[in-house]
Structure 1
Amino acid sequence: MIINSIKLKNFKSYEDETEFSFTPSQNKNIVLIGGENGSGKSTLFEAIRLCIYGPSSYGYLGNNPIYLNKVKNNINNNAFKNEIVDCNISVTLSFFEGTQIIKYILNRNWVYVNQKIIENFQVFKNDKLLTEDEASFFNKYLQANLPHSLFNFFFFDGEELSEFFNNKNSSHSFKEAVLQLFNYDTFSVLKKHLLSFQRKITKENRSLTNIETQYDQSLETLTSVQNNIKKIEVKLASKKNSLHTLLIQKDLLEKDFKTSGGILENEEKSINSKIISLENERTSINQYIKDYCNDILPFLLITDLLKETIKQIEKENIISSYNSIKNKLSGDIIRKSLLSHNICDIDESKYNELATTIINQMFNIKELSTSKEILMLSSEQQNNVLAIINAICSGENDLKNKLLNSYNRIKEISERIKALRDKLSSSVTGDFVNSYLVKINSINDKIHSTENEILSLNYELNSYVEKEKTALYNYSRVKNTYTSFMQNDNNLNLSSNITEYIDTLLSELTQNKLKLLEKNFIEIFNTIIRKSDYVSSIVIDSNFECTLYVLKNYSTQDILNIINNLGVKDITKKYGLKFVEDLLLKYRAKSFDDLLVLINSTPSYNCINLRTKVNVNDLSKGEKQIYILCLIWSLIKSSEKEIPFILDTPYARVDETHRKSLTNNYLPNISNQVILLSTNEEIDKSIYKIIKPYICHEYLLLYNEKERKTEIKKGYFEV
């Protein structure tokens, strides 16, 4: 793909209609765009990306309000002064399709209608406007040839370039670039389709859909209950620790008071006696509250269920009566009863019907048919249960009032105790006694408060434990059903096997390509770096992690010291996996234990060459930049694809020696189209002179401070 030109108007600082030509000519592949910081260089790239990829350039799936609001913020402020607000970006691209070069014009325009921003997107193929379906097909074609993520991969800011592969997502970004460049991302797409197919097969089964919903809900409920239990247990443990600490403090305080010889007067004994009596009463009431919470409160919380239990007992008594009468009342008894009253002119066949009719008149058969015997209590059990339920239901208000009165009484007792203690404190002489009373009272109050909190937490914990039992039962039952459905679905198993095979196949296919990347990288890197024996090889593993190696000489004693100081695990981490492989291969050892035996038994004073890991983080920022640039070139070279390479601040961290190497060997050869965004401090007179023969177009961006807009002119800085 080649970017031939871009035309933009009212986009950020580009107020006037501005056009750039990027088409390379013959051996001239470099477009040089100069400008000071803030003149609009990065804006130019953003405009290209936005025009080509639309909402996905900002990470959105469609023209949603957030995307349109972001576009609105990018429209030049002066555009809103016009009667018609018009913002436009147009990019011309060319692709090789077979043996032909096809030109596409992408035009993305934003206008305001009724104070709302509206986006219009048009695609022209060889100057012919495509239909909506054809434009949609082109977008898919573009995504297949140069996805948005790959386009971003080949645009870099030199200031941030060295960090690109040094973050946690570096290997993932590199992997995506490799797969897309070598057209292996098709397998990833196929895998996604297979996973989508699995979900589709599952959702087509209505029963399985319901089971999935029940499974998710039951798991969510169970997890929520268990999380609440954990939180309560943590709080409970904390409160118990606090209570234990308070009891220890109280015991130590009492012992300290006694051993210090504290003595109270007779009047104080009387007050203390009252306090003790009130404390005992408060303890008794607290015990009543505890018993109430354990024995009565659970029933008060389910009075509706108790009332339903009474109804169930009544229904079961009716069922029992019905069964008893039904078994005893027969046609023969009816006949004898009627004969005893001299009623005998009835057909013999009617007696059984009379018996049935009598029973049906006595009982509501329809209601009985919907009732079930659940409790099946004996008479004694019924009497006991009904007595308890009636006592609770009939005395519900009294029980609640009694509990409320108990809390009120505790409050009164606390206030009374406080008043007595205040009186005691005021009548006692001596700072020591006063201090003791204040501290002991404070501790007792904290103890009572903590005990009540523990009681409340215990009750809450017990409630959640019961909920957990129910939730666990429901989850286990639904899980078993769900597992059974999944195990019986052969299509899902087959597609799962295929996805595993794709992973294996992809690993095998990329192996040779990674070797080609390694080969091309070393050739390019050694050409650019201009240092002998700086890096001898690069290894790209199956996880797409890149490791540089250099050949180094080691004596037997060096190796022994390394093994003794670091150990096997740290040797691999510091010196690299290839160091270990080379070492074992040199000594023909199968393990480090064998290696130590061989080294000690046959000591040698000859040095051996081993591939040693180069820590990328130890490289200078300039060397890191060269490393990344060479890796990018090796990707483009190995893939044999035409990809525009856009480089902002190209010489940010590179010294003068390597600048010339990059200028002579790198920029003219990395791609058929290279777009450089630079300041005059980077590409100075000497560099400009070297790069000039390769420049097909050059522009200078000038920011008009007065009118706050970007203006352009052909040419570069006067260097």
Structure 2
Amino acid sequence: MILKQIVIENFRQYYGQNEIEFAHGSGRNVTVIHGENGSGKTALLTALIWGFYGRELKLPNSESIFNNKAIHESTNQQEDLSTSVRIRFEHNDYEYDLRRLLHAKYDDETNILNLPKNKTVNQKVELSKRNIATNQSTKIRDIAYEINRILPYKLHTFFFFDGERMDHLGKKEAYSEIRDSIKRMMGLELFDNSIDHLSKTIVKLRDEVSKNVKSELSDKYLRINQLEEDKVKKKHQLAETKQELSAAQNELKSIENALRNGEETRAFQTTRDHLVESITETKNAFDEKLKELRNQLSNSGYLAFSKLPIKRFQRIARTDQRDTIEKLIHPELIPSLLSNGTCLCGHELESTSISTLEKVQNEVLDLSTSKNDMDHLYFQLSGWEVARAHFYSQIKRLISEREELRATLQLLEEDLREIEERMKASSRNIENSTNLIEKESSVRTAIVKAEANIEDLLRSIDELSREEELLNKEVSKLTKAEERQLRLQLALESATKVKDTLVGLLKLRESQVKSELEEKIKLTYSQLLRKDYSISLTDNYELLVSDVNGGNIGLSQGESQITSLAFIGAIVDLTREYKDKEKGHALDEDLNLGNIFPLVMDSPFGALDADHRSRVATNLPKLSDQVVVIVSTSQWRGEVDEAINHRVGRSYKLLNHTNEVSGEYTEIAEVM
């Protein structure tokens, strides 16, 4: 990322619009901003941070974002007021335009300029990017995501920092922050996130694979096999029973023929045949009446429950309190009066009378409509009453006819039993006839039993088939689940292998990054520090400084700042080399690792002596393609000016003004 321009409007000390064009490149890549204490050096650094991220300001009186002079003028002029920061920057072949704004509205009633209370919620942010090659512009919707993708908020303190921040990075409490930042900048966080995601995926896959589908599927198959065996047995029994029934029916026909042909039994058998035929017809008629009764109940059974609703409606209809106007006035009377324009008494209708009559006419029409609806419903329910009476009449008829058929059937069966007894009595002395009659009785019993068995077997086979059909559907689902489990098993194995591979790559990558970073830190440290100290980076990314004998060194504040600066500069330099493909690995190009970051520093030379200021000033422009230095005159003059002046591409001065009414304010002026 390269900063191109910042435009500050009515932000903190900065009154009106103030802008800075930033230098960058391999030559004059330094922008220097001169400012004395209290002129707004820290506010300028804060404007950059607020413009990018919109977080609460870490400054004294952090709620005071609007410039005091601008507030005073807007109040006097009774106008609204805005404060904003606009930043133009380049990143990966795109030019971005970011603007963050807060608006204060003047209240005409109270004569007060209402400053927004929640300065985070009330912000308005706009971000667009332009493809430098094609000149095509795009408006960014998810602004926070885009900014954090380019320069994450957690990393901003490494590139927008002051002298105190540099000192902080050399302390032990910063080690975890340093480690996380290095992982993010060097592409290691990508491995961490991938490993974490795979670990969660592996847990879910294990849960899915652990479900015992095979056992459940096996139980279903065993049950289906059992059902098939039971069906085969039932079908075999059904076939045998049908054969037995057919044989019994044939035997019965032979016996009946023999009885018809016998002299002693012929007359009885003829009568008996008629009785059997009548019994069969009566039974069929009895069953038909039952079907009619069921149909009647199914189609019109609701009428049995209609009595209470009908009575309730009739009671409501009888007690309906309609306005008596409907009973007194004929619907055609008022239209006739209005048409003639005269009253019943013969006088002409006045305007007020016409208005009253029209109102009454509307009421009569409404009441008439209501009455029509009520009458229509009353008529329908009256039809229900008739249908209900007919329903009960039909039910009673069918029950009565069925009972008559039952009585007829009983009489026929009694006559049949009497005939059979007479047949037996008349043929007792004739052995052959007696045997035929007894055999006929046993055959008929066998036929009834066989028919009942056939009905039971058919019902049982049907139930077995339905259960088998349901089981086959469940088996189909379980089979798909088992196939899915096999795929999940393969996915689990693949995910585990990928995770193990990534863990190995991460270890290798960490080792490579740590080695390269440590080499870069040592080189930078040796250029910045005049003492012959040795610096190393532990596995936890802890910076250790030791003397020539390997003993630990207690660093001064200035030496701690130089240590921190060496660390930051090494990271920026190394990521730039990755970006330019001077270093790195084949994987870097595929992952698009490496980047260019600016170094924006507020008072970086404050705690350094003359020699160290010269060293830092000399080497600072070499660490990044863009360096922005915000310094006081005392920090800049002398050795710093001499060491860095030839690398300065842009120079600005913070001019502090004092106003007796609105107080101090600052403007930015370019130094030519």
- Which TM class, normalised by the smaller chain length? 0.3 to 0.5
Normalising by structure 2, report the TM-score: 0.47
Q: TM-score when scaled to structure 1?
A: 0.44
Larger radius of gyration: 2
